[in-house]
Amino acid sequence: MSLAIDVSGLNKSFGDKHVVNDVSIQVESGKICGFLGPNGSGKTTTLRMLCGLLTPDSGQGTCLGYDILKQADEIKRRTGYMTQRFSLYDDLSIAENLEFIARVYRLDPRRERVAEAVEKLGLKSRRAQLVGTLSGGWKQRLALAAATLHEPQLLLLDEPTAGVDPKARRTFWDEIHDLAGQGLTVLVSTHYMDEAERCHEIAYISYGRLIARGTAEEVVQSAHIATFHGEGPDIGRLAHELEAKPGVESVAPFGAALHVSGTDRKSLEKAIAPYRKAPWRWQEVPPSLEDVFIHLMSGSQDNFP
């Protein structure tokens, strides 16, 4: 097993807010690791410390074989970073933006590298189009092309598909898996559960602490959650009643159905017992990653002072 990332005891504070608290993580080369967690929980700060953009207050380890404290510049040269907010130039064309990036990295031969990136990500027919006129999906492709133009060994994606339609999201993830298949290590923060399930493994960070780690299946199993699925006419009106019942940790409407979850199965069964009659039908189902996400959020405490 070759580790692209091997760090321990990372800490980072901004003023009196402890944003990242004793985080340790290992990621194999060529794997896609998803970072999940509430807004403001330290995901982006952790990503930036791993790639050398931020210096930890304490902690140690390596990224791509380089010391994260002493060799941050070496790590940055070998890392591609796609930020949540689109950051290329709207008044330049696709090709002009990529040529600018190529100049920044002093790539040679520059034009050939840009032409290859444009072709690879299906941007050839739009290479002369001004970026400001592109849709969200095409901007996303361009941002990915820019982040991988210098052929990095590590790619960081900070909520890369926010505001993008489902088809563009699927295409994007197909491209990410192709890159990982070529040996690129990918760290991605996301709030989409279907995207998290496409990662080889996930890490759940809650208000600075790493509290769950493993494959999606392993994280679901380790949460020890029971989930009941209820269906029937107007079953949604039971949501508020069920939320007040002992043992019920979350109630999530899904169209004409409800997902009721909790860690105490007996209390959960007792809570739904009065509603086990016509016209409603209940059955226990495997918990989803979203059920686990909500469970972990409900058990976390904000670290904002």
Residues 40 and 180 in one domain: yes
Q: What's the rounded Cα separation, in Å, for the pair 273 and 145?
A: 54
Q: How far from each other are the two terminal CA atoms of the chain, in whole angstroms?
A: 41
CATH code for position 209: 3.40.50.300
Give domain status of residue 301, yes or no.
Answer: no
Top-confidence residue, 22 or 140: 22
Residues 119 and 261 in one domain: no
Give domain status of residue 18, yes or no.
Answer: yes
Overall average pLDDT of the 277-303 stretch: 83
pLDDT above 90 coverage of the chain, percent = 64
pLDDT tier for residue 137 given thresholds of 50, 70 and 90: confident
Residues 260 and 174 in one domain: no
Residues 146 and 9 in one domain: yes
CATH code for position 253: 3.30.70.2070
Task: Give which of 263, 271, 278 is closest to 227, Cα–Cα.
Answer: 263
Domain count, the chain: 2
Q: What's the whole-model pTM score? A: 0.88
Residues 188 and 257 in one domain: no
26 pLDDT more than 70: yes
Residues 281 and 178 in one domain: no
Top-confidence residue, 162 or 242: 242
Residues 270 and 204 in one domain: no
Give domain status of residue 297, yes or no.
Answer: no
pLDDT tier for residue 303 given thresholds of 50, 70 and 90: low
Give domain status of residue 299, yes or no.
Answer: no
Residues 173 and 277 in one domain: no
Instruction: Please tell me the predicted confidence (pLDDT) of residue 294.
Output: 84
Give domain status of residue 115, yes or no.
Answer: yes
Show Cβ contacts of residue 11 under 8 Å, excluding neighbours closer than 6 positions. Answer: 18, 20, 21, 22, 23, 56, 57, 58, 59
pLDDT tier for residue 124 given thresholds of 50, 70 and 90: confident
Overall average pLDDT of the 93-118 stretch: 91
Last residue of a domain, one of 220, 250, 269: 220
Range of the domain at 123: 3-220
50 pLDDT more than 80: yes
Amino acid at 45: T
Instruction: Please tell me the predicted confidence (pLDDT) of residue 304.
Output: 53
Residues 95 and 238 in one domain: no
Residues 197 and 230 in one domain: no
Residues 26 and 52 in one domain: yes
Which tens digit of pLDDT belongs to each residue from 182-231? 999 999 998 888 889 999 999 999 888 999 999 999 999 999 999 999 99
pLDDT tier for residue 302 given thresholds of 50, 70 and 90: low
Show Cβ contacts of residue 67 under 8 Å, excluding neighbours closer than 6 positions. Answer: 60, 61
Give domain status of residue 180, yes or no.
Answer: yes
Last residue of a domain, one of 193, 220, 247: 220
1 pLDDT more than 70: no
pLDDT tier for residue 32 given thresholds of 50, 70 and 90: very high
What SS3 state is found at 200?
coil
Q: Is the dihedral of CA 143, 214, 216, 211 positive or negative?
A: negative
Q: What's the rounded Cα separation, in Å, for the pair 71 and 195?
A: 32
Residues 188 and 49 in one domain: yes
